[in-house]
Chains A and B, each alone.
Chain A
């Protein structure tokens, strides 16, 4: 029953595709919109903006999140900024340039048509946010300020100190609460989605667990939108929030939604290094810091001197040396990999030797402490709070950490998955970033999908459906509910010896080691043998305390880790299958003589979309060819 992948990209020149699609889309009559109910899962930038906009259009919306308030979603933690092709600085930016940079930055593994649409609506997003009262940084003349950001040669990034994500999310959240106040959005907080209800092949509902009462609840509707973020926490340590998980998309995958490019994960170059066994998460320092900070390590191996005692000529500013035209602003994957290389060579600094310096002393001399404080004050404070060391006085120590996942549920141009009626937005889908996401484009994509894409494409779907009336008593809904319940009962019945975190750490370390910054065939094959063993032991020997009918955080975590244990295997399979290096996926067997990533466009210029075929069974691979008509395929060079 394997389906053909149909991306539904409109015909015609890339710059006209979205306009054409919007015109050709079927519309739902305004009076009929209120007859449709849409379930939106997740309240980050994608989810909150989609729920608010759909409600404004007249649809009935139910919005779900596992946190206590929609405002907590992890989009809030994004620091650096959001790109928009406004060309406010007059430095030569344009929709085409943003499109071009994003396709190239994604290492030619994203869809041109999607990326162009993203660049087209980028300006609307900033307009929308400003109108909502998002307090972006401004110049004295009252106009918006911009900065250049990770890998871009124009200043197109809008920002709000180091808390752009928070300010954009509060904007989307307030738009959502505006719709809650009119009664057109119903809000369900502290609900975690555990199953998708599919009826007659279409997504019609979800099963959630009420995290306060422990009760299972069924919600039915005409379409479901998953805006549930990425799967970075599969690695245990990541910059994601503790609750971020793959459960909603993985459950949908098990019901038939294809999972695309799961091996594409982004390792962010500027995070605070790991410092102990007890460590629960990694903290990102915005890469905007690389605008004014210089990355270096000592020339000599195992140099234990204090940074200030190492003279200039004994320092290796390795990014400036290897990549003179981009220097410290090379894309994330390159910055991360090079940090790994110098540390592997024994030049790393700090107690563990797994860190490099990010030094602001030159910028402080050049611009004054006041300017640096204005730009990065809160980031410096945060760093000092965590490490006890002040970046005004000593260089920061940084190391790469898992940050963002470019892979996700496969969606067509309309953001619909391979299950009709199931849409997937934001980080949870695979569509716009290819194999590597450029800085300041995650916020852009989340809001683009939610404010400006899904609200159009949903109508096109609904207008062509003749959906039967269904409710929670439908046999497929009842079955989904009982399967979610059985799973919970099973987890609680094991009463083994090991804690949930113990399994999660074991899985995470294995994946970081074998499927992290750099991968090879032998390591991936080894992981494929080990993961099923960890999973089997989990289901025999995990200890989940407490009962189902109460607030039970161990049970919540156990369910998420159980899904990571299945998902991790798919991630490794995908990495093994993709024998090329591209973007964040560095396959050791595929590199240039200079040690740079070597793509294989002949064999791998495709999206790998996996169809579920049973736990532990070989999944079915579907390939969607990627065609580049506007940006010529070229090896990325940032030298």
Chain B
């Protein structure tokens, strides 16, 4: 909201792919007169409005809340998931990050487990299936005790909150050279493992979620830390270490 917002021109190379079966290609567009106070997605809106007026198919991209919390948006910009700015979703990336005349290469989050559906839109239902494999506490509605009967040490509560701030956007997968989903899975495992409420199902949960993660075709972790660097919510790789400990413990002690 600076008083004298500058307008810039950009060259875009955007991944276009009609549907999951299509091979896909890069197309080139000009984004002209873009206000630097606009968000990245608003820049794409302006380009799409122009394409529509020329009778061309607009670039399809996922987005919803545009407040950086729903986890729906995301693309790789010049090799960075969610663009070059740390701890930022694509919708919260503003054009003041870029300079006049710059070329932006825009691609979908790529991974075998997240197939492209159209242009920049990918299928992230694998994440839902991982959550359905144990990412919950099995309590029935109504059959619970008073909330203050479960005190939680503030430090654990804060760490659980940090892990729970994951928005499920899949940038970690896109950033990882192995397309691993360990950061996502470990964030959920840690969130619940750090709370007393999560203890009864702790072993069962980590075994189930890791198994589903492997089934979906996500790669393994080789400690590149690219996931943490790309994560718009700053989820720590310490969660991965915690999950590995929990997994090892569960494997050796579980009787299932």
Contact B145 A127 (CB under 8 A): yes
Query: Which residue from chain A places its CB closest to the CB of B50 in the assembled complex?
Result: A499
| Of A277-285, A481-489, A560-568, the one with at least 4 CB within 8 A of chain B | A277-285
Which of A136-144, A290-298, A340-348 is the interface stretch?
Answer: A136-144
A588 interface contact, C-beta 8 A: no
Shortest Cβ distance from residue B246 to the other chain A in the assembled complex, whole angstroms: 15
Q: Which of B46, B66, B124 contacts A69 (CB 8 A)?
A: B124
Beta-carbon contacts under 8 Å, B114-136 to A: 117-118, 121, 123-125, 127-128, 131-136
Which residues does chain B contribute within 8 Å of A550, judged by CB atoms?
18-19, 118
Give complex CA distance A538, B37 in Å: 30
Contacts of B71 in A (CB 8 A): 69, 71-72
- How many residues in A have their beta carbons less than 8 Å from beta carbons of B? 86
CB pair B137 A132 closer than 8 Å: yes
- From B98-106, B163-171, B215-223, the one touching the partner chain is B163-171
> Contact at A451–B1, with CB atoms within 8 Å?
no
Residue on B with the closest CB to A54?
A: B141
Question: Which B residues between 124 and 177 are near A, CB-CB below 8 angstroms?
Answer: 124-125, 127-128, 131-142, 144-148, 150-154, 157, 160-161, 164-165, 167-168
Contacts of B197 in A (CB 8 A): 130-133
Query: Is B60 in the interface zone, CB < 8 Å from A?
Result: yes
A window 122-165: CB within 8 A of B: 124, 126-133, 135-144, 160-161, 163, 165
A-B pair number, CB within 8 angstroms: 229
User: B62 to chain A: which residues have CB within 8 Å?
Assistant: 68
Residues of A within 8 Å of B254, CB to CB, are none
Q: Is the CB of A278 within 8 A of B38?
A: yes
Which B residues touch A175, using CB under 8 A? Answer: 136, 139, 141
Asked if A72 and B70 make an inter-chain contact with CB atoms under 8 angstroms apart, the answer reads: yes
Bound-state CA distance A461–B193 (Å) is 40
Residues of the B chain whose Cβ atoms lie less than 8 Å from the Cβ of A181: 132-134
> What residues of chain B lie closer than 8 Å to A283, measured between beta carbons?
66-67
Q: Which residues of B sit under 8 angstroms from A137, Cβ to Cβ?
A: 157, 161
**In the assembly, what is the distance between CA of A387 and CA of B94, in Å?**
9
Contact of B146 among A127, A161, A280 (CB under 8 A): A127
A389, B1: Cβ atoms under 8 Å? yes
Q: In A162-216, which residues have CB < 8 Å from any B CB?
A: 163, 165-167, 170, 173-175, 177-178, 180-181, 187, 189, 212
Q: Which residue of A lies closest to B192 (CB)?
A: A133
Q: Which residues on the B side are within 8 Å of A272 (C-beta)?
A: 1
* Minimum Cβ distance to chain B for residue A206 (Å): 21
Contact A382 B67 (CB under 8 A): yes
Query: In the bound complex, what is the Cα–Cα distance between A314 and B55 (angstroms)?
Result: 55
Say whether, besides A135-B161, A135-B195, A385-B94, A554 and B125 are in contact (CB < 8 Å). no
User: How far, in whole Å, are A501 and B150 apart by their CA atoms in the complex?
Assistant: 50
CA–CA, A189 and B132, complex, Å: 14
Bound-state CA distance A131–B144 (Å) is: 7
Contact call A499/B145, Cβ cutoff below 8 A: no
Distance in angstroms between the alpha carbons of A170 and B135 in the assembled complex: 10
A144-B141 in contact (CB<8A): no
**Cβ proximity bits A74-89 to B, threshold 8 Å, 1 near / 0 not:** 1011000000001010
User: Is B152 touching A386 in the complex (CB atoms < 8 A)?
Assistant: no
With A72-B71, A167-B164, A280-B66: A551-B121 Cβ-Cβ less than 8 Å = yes
Q: Is A397 an interface residue (CB 8 A)?
A: yes
**A280 CA to B1 CA in the complex, in Å?**
15
Give bound CA distance, A543 to B53, whole Å. Answer: 8
Collect the chain A residues with CB atoms within 8 Å of residue B154's CB: 138-140, 142
Type the 1/0 row for B65-102, where 1 means its CB is closer than 8 Å to any CB of A: 11111111000000000000001100010101000000
A533 to B241, CA, bound (A): 62
- State whether A130 touches B64 (Cβ < 8 A): no
Residue from B55, B65, B127, B150 with most neighbouring chain A CB atoms (10 Å): B65
Complex Cα–Cα for A127 and B145 (A): 6
Are A174 and B136 in contact (CB-based, < 8 A)?
yes
A127-B144, A130-B147 given; name 19 further pairs at CB < 8 Å.
A56-B141, A67-B70, A72-B64, A86-B148, A128-B139, A128-B142, A131-B150, A135-B160, A138-B154, A178-B136, A181-B133, A242-B63, A242-B65, A273-B1, A275-B5, A280-B41, A281-B66, A283-B66, A385-B92
Can you sample 21 A-B contacts with CB below 8 Å? A56-B140, A68-B124, A69-B125, A71-B128, A126-B147, A130-B197, A132-B137, A132-B139, A135-B160, A142-B152, A167-B164, A174-B136, A174-B137, A242-B63, A276-B38, A278-B38, A281-B66, A385-B94, A550-B19, A553-B60, A554-B52
